[in-house]
């Protein structure tokens, strides 16, 4: 995850161990921006800038562009 520009966590409903998304915590610790659906524990623990509505392709596209632009403007490329 450390080498990634961003991480997409596409689950639209929590099931089993997915209810507690450890990979999102890992991305956060690595400094890798992530995009996940605004469901269950995701919405409880993570900032809204990382969350999208489930099944909303337009919002996913917009959020990807946002994080790419944020990274390009930070000078860490």
Rounded to an integer, what distance in angstroms lies between the CA atom of residue 10 and that of residue 50? 12
Buried b (16+ CB within 10 A) or exposed e, 52-61: beeeeeebbe
Work out the number of other CB atoms within 10 angstroms of the CB of residue 29.
10
Q: CB of 36 within 8 A of CB of 9?
A: yes
Work out the number of other CB atoms within 10 angstroms of the CB of residue 38.
16
Task: Give the pTM.
Answer: 0.79
| pLDDT tens digits for range 3-56 | 887 899 888 877 766 667 888 999 999 999 999 999 878 888 899 999 999 999
């Amino acid at each position: 995850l450390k080498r990634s520009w961003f991480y997409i966590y596409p689950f639209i409903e929590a099931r089993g161990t997915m209810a507690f998304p450890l990979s999102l915590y890992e991305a956060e610790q690595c400094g890798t921006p992530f995009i996940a659906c605004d469901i269950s524990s995701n919405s409880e623990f993570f900032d809204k800038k990382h969350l999208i509505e489930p099944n909303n392709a337009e919002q996913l596209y917009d959020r990807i562009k946002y994080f790419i632009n944020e990274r390009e403007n930070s000078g860490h490329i």
